[in-house]
Amino acid sequence: MNELEETMRERLKKNQFMSYNHIELEHVEPDYAVFRLDIRPESRNIFGMVHGGALYTMADNAAGSAAHTDGRNYVTQNGSLHFLRNQTEGTVRATGRVRHRGRSTVLVSVDITGQDQRLLATGEFSFFCVERSGKSS
């Protein structure tokens, strides 16, 4: 495990909502992060498909983790996710890629894929950088 991955895993231990929903970090590198969800009964909506909230949570975490790879602290400023299709079993992955990194904001694109790399959802998230002291940069 490299230093970036170790640091990210330590930070994510504090994210109880992500853990509660069985969402896990699979891979991280500068400006890039992949999360996975192995679909469980509690991951599904009343129609038996992955709940949209689980997909959105995965997307927000993948995007946020990609933003955090520069070592600074961020909060989600805005998020938009387009749901295209869904699945009932197997594994889904959210991949976040930094598209733009400014002094105080970061824009990250996210794709959620399912079986056979089928695109399930896509979107963008923006993050605002906050200094470790809690003041805005």
Report pLDDT digits (tens) over 37-92: 999 999 999 999 999 999 999 999 999 999 999 999 999 999 999 999 999 999 99
Kind plus residue range of the DSSP H or E element containing 11:
helix 3-12
In a domain, 135, yes or no: no
pLDDT band at 135; cut points 50, 70, 90: very low
3-class DSSP assignment, residue 135: coil
In a domain, 15, yes or no: yes
Torsional sign, CA 85, 59, 122, 26:
negative
pLDDT band at 132; cut points 50, 70, 90: low
pTM across the whole model: 0.91
- pLDDT(133) > 90: no
pLDDT band at 137; cut points 50, 70, 90: very low
- Identify the pLDDT of residue 1: 76
Q: What is the pLDDT of residues 93-119, one digit of tens each?
A: 999 999 999 999 999 999 999 989 999
CA distance 73 to 55: 23
Range of the domain at 91: 3-130
In a domain, 60, yes or no: yes
Q: Show Cβ contacts of residue 43 under 8 Å, excluding neighbours closer than 6 positions.
A: 21, 22, 37, 50, 51, 54
How many domains does the structure of the chain reveal?
Answer: 1
Q: Note whether 92 and 85 are within 8 A (CB).
A: no
Torsional sign, CA 13, 17, 18, 19:
positive
Quickly list DSSP for 45-111.
-TTSSBPHHHHHHHHHHHHHHHHHTTS-EEEEEEEEEEE----SSSEEEEEEEEEEE-SSEEEEEEE
In a domain, 136, yes or no: no
CATH code, domain carrying 32: 3.10.129.10
